[in-house]
Structure 1
Amino acid sequence: MGNFYLLVVDGLGVGAQEDAAEYGDESANTLVHVCEQTGCRLPNFQKLGLGNIVDLKTVAPNEAPLAATGKMREVSAGKDSTTGHWELAGLRLDRPFPTYPEGFPDEVIDSFCRQINVEKVLCNQPLSGTTAIAEFGAEHLQTGSPVVYTSADSVFQVAAHIEQVPLERLYEWCRLARNHVMVGQHGVGRVIARPFRGPPGAFERISEQRKDFSLSPPEHNVVYQLYRNGIKTYGIGKVIDLFAGEGFTQYRKTRANAEGISQMLSLMSAAEDSFVFVNLIDTDQIYGHRLDPDGYARSLQEIDRAIPAMANKIKDDDLLVITADHGNDPTAQSTDHSREFVPLLVFPGENAKRLNLGIRATFADVASSVAEYFGLEQNYPGSSFIKVK
């Protein structure tokens, strides 16, 4: 065997899918718009063949790309991180996780208040986190009532100031919400603890102490299959939260992409016959949701600069797949995820069945490829894009 590295650049879409209009995303094109608006150059991604996937203003096509290239279609219902990562692992969702465009119903809020023993919550609207904290943070400091909000994604988010609510209490509130409130018909993809600090007028979210409480995925996913068959599985970044901590031999949480890249490079020097699942979140969490194309471009360039080091650590039998979980167009008016195709780069390219992998029918092609790579049964709703060893 060797090592299979799956690197997810969070929110890196490459154009609206055919069904994007159903999600209000027919004009979304994250990578194209970022390159157009910022002049972002990505020389190492260009060597891999990123410009072969979609027509980019600043990343030219490559006649001899180092990677096999294509793009993938999401077939699961939804466009959130949990749905995208689960489909990459071979799980297809026929029904989306519930969303709450008008806020959570009284039955949910009342149940949450009973669980955590408070009289009321603040906000209960679909808002960006920074807006929710700015508008309700001062009242939270005065009353102790948590700030509860959602977004277009299937999330129940609880924000609290660390001087009013200690971190462990906030985490416990979210565990109670996950296990006793957001269940059944209200089983959202993620319950998220959002601590913040600072004085009124200058509140600041503490992203490195955010904590996600995901639904447990069905066991029929490739990560759990590998784990059950004695193959070492590593998670870097928020991956562990999206899979509710299940199926990983070890995991390493990160505070920023720089740390995620460093952790990945370190593991590449030590891993043997392992599956390494990495999420680099800054493109999505810091720049996509905040409509910051320049920051998004800088984040892509940070990853681009790391590609040579990754390539140098790839051993003869190793494989690196770079992709994404959804789009998040920072040039759009919406701060939400977008329903887009995602890029597919397979390095080294000679390990793929062909250099031009075309449009893949489902993200689950990744799960089928991982299973084939490790010689396991391929009973996922996808087709492998790698050569049989």
Structure 2
Amino acid sequence: MRALILVMDSVGIGMARDAELYGDHGADTVGHIAEACARGTADNDARKGPLAIPNLVGLGLGQACRLATGRVPPELGGPVHPRAMFGCASELSKGKDTSSGHWEIAGVPVPFDWGYFPRTRPCFPEDLVERLCEETGVIGIIGNCHASGTEIIHELGERHMQTGEPICYTSADSVFQIAAHEQTFGLERLYHTCAVARRLVDPLNIGRVIARPFIGSAAAQFKRTAHRRDFSVPPPERTILDLAADDGRDVVSIGKIDDIFAHRGTGRNKRGDGNDALFDCTLEAINDLKDGGLLFANFIDFDTLYGHRRDVAGYAAALEQFDRRLPELLLRLKANDLLIITADHGCDPTWSGTDHTREQVPILARANDRTWSIGKRGGFSDIAATIARHLGLAPLAHGTAF
């Protein structure tokens, strides 16, 4: 008896009930991608035609979309009675941040408001910048604004390599991001700079400081690497990871999960460069996961490579590739394992701007032959509550098992 949580980062299925408060009324990541594919506007050299994700549809994704929005996206109708439990959930936590979404999935909604930086230029407080430079020895910073990570590296990367000034920027999330060249600035130096920044932004209640290393010799060749690290504050309460670790269970985290939870209760960590590599890590971990164990994986490409970049065709191709690999995972499940596939927020690639979108998320739960609708859940914490019951762990403070 084991449990697995797979987070398809940003794969939302329709606006949350409070989406208008976040400027996201009408956002629908999966629905709008499927519609674009049906129209042919998501065709490119890599993929063509309607969105083809039969394995996710077979687990109930189309029916989860129906629960969330009242309609099934094109080509996602599938069986009326899928091969799994299916439903959707709205987030209780405030914001649409990675940390909030993952913590709530793990059983800890975030009741407070994160700190955010204003949409001004410069956007960071002057004393914060001065202290960061003083304590790290950099001569200054560049950027100091809201920006897309790939765009700002393209814009300022060459200057950064010449001057040694790190590129600092933020987004609509509660983040302080620092981009630096792996060779000219140095990876360990970047991590040290981020560790200092983490301490300095604590009084501002900033959720994450993110190291964004990149390589390349000129703007046209710059590429972010898999050596990203998130310096997060720890969750304010015990999560399902804490319960499992404290009970001596085998815990494996895949991708950036260990960073999101500030390395608390995350057990053995496996990392990979992109969704395919992360899927490989997940398969390897399933083979070794002991009875009573918990695996928690994040698949980042949907969000980072395609959602934030508003790349509809790329997002569709990533969904299709993830779907093609699902049978490999399903074949490794034991009879009494529980698999839950979900998301942490939306990032509708048809939406304006480059930020996350406040959306409902799918819950697709495979356990033995259970095949019913779990309905519309009032919070992501129902996922953790269900896993706690399945694994025989103590109940969490939040959530209702389905």
Correspondence for 2:12: 13
Counterpart CA distance in 1 for 2:288 and 2:160 is 46
Correspondence for 1:315: 334
- State how many pairs are aligned: 380
Q: 1:200 aligns with which of 218, 223, 228?
A: 218
**1:23-42 pair list within 5 angstroms:** 23-38=22-37, 39-42=50-53
SS at match of 2:231: strand
SS at match of 1:218: coil
Deviation of residue 349 (structure 1)?
Answer: 6.4
**1:1-389 pair list within 5 angstroms:** 2-38=1-37, 39-54=50-65, 55-100=72-117, 101-102=119-120, 103-178=123-198, 180-184=199-203, 186-272=204-290, 273-348=292-367, 350-351=369-370, 355-385=372-402
SS at match of 2:183: coil
Deviation of residue 136 (structure 1)?
Answer: 1.8
Counterpart CA distance in 1 for 2:217 and 2:288 is 44
Deviation of residue 347 (structure 1)?
Answer: 0.6
Q: What's the RMSD between the two structures over aligned residues? A: 1.4
Q: Summarize deviations over 1:313-370 as a string: whole Å, max 9, x none.
A: 111110100000000001112211010000010113644xx71111100000011111
Counterpart CA distance in 2 for 1:381 and 1:294 is 38
Distance 1:93 1:219, change over 3 A: closer
Counterpart CA distance in 2 for 1:192 and 1:298 is 27
Counterpart CA distance in 1 for 2:305 and 2:9 is 11
Deviation of residue 216 (structure 1)?
Answer: 1.7
Deviation of residue 260 (structure 1)?
Answer: 1.1
- Asked if 2 retains the 8 angstrom alpha-carbon contact of 1:79 and 1:338, the reply is yes
AA aligned opposite 2:367: P
Consecutive unaligned residues of structure 2, counting only runs of 5 or more, are 38-49, 66-71
- Asked if 2 retains the 8 angstrom alpha-carbon contact of 1:320 and 1:347, the reply is yes
Counterpart CA distance in 1 for 2:233 and 2:351 is 29
Counterpart CA distance in 2 for 1:142 and 1:231 is 49
Distance 1:188 1:205, change over 3 A: farther
- Asked if 2 retains the 8 angstrom alpha-carbon contact of 1:240 and 1:248, the reply is yes
Consecutive unaligned residues of structure 1, counting only runs of 5 or more, are none
Q: Summarize deviations over 1:89-114 as a string: whole Å, max 9, x none.
A: 11111123211133111122112111
Deviation of residue 168 (structure 1)?
Answer: 0.7
Provide the identity percentage: 38
TM-score (norm 2): 0.91
Deviation of residue 203 (structure 1)?
Answer: 4.5
- Asked if 2 retains the 8 angstrom alpha-carbon contact of 1:133 and 1:203, the reply is no
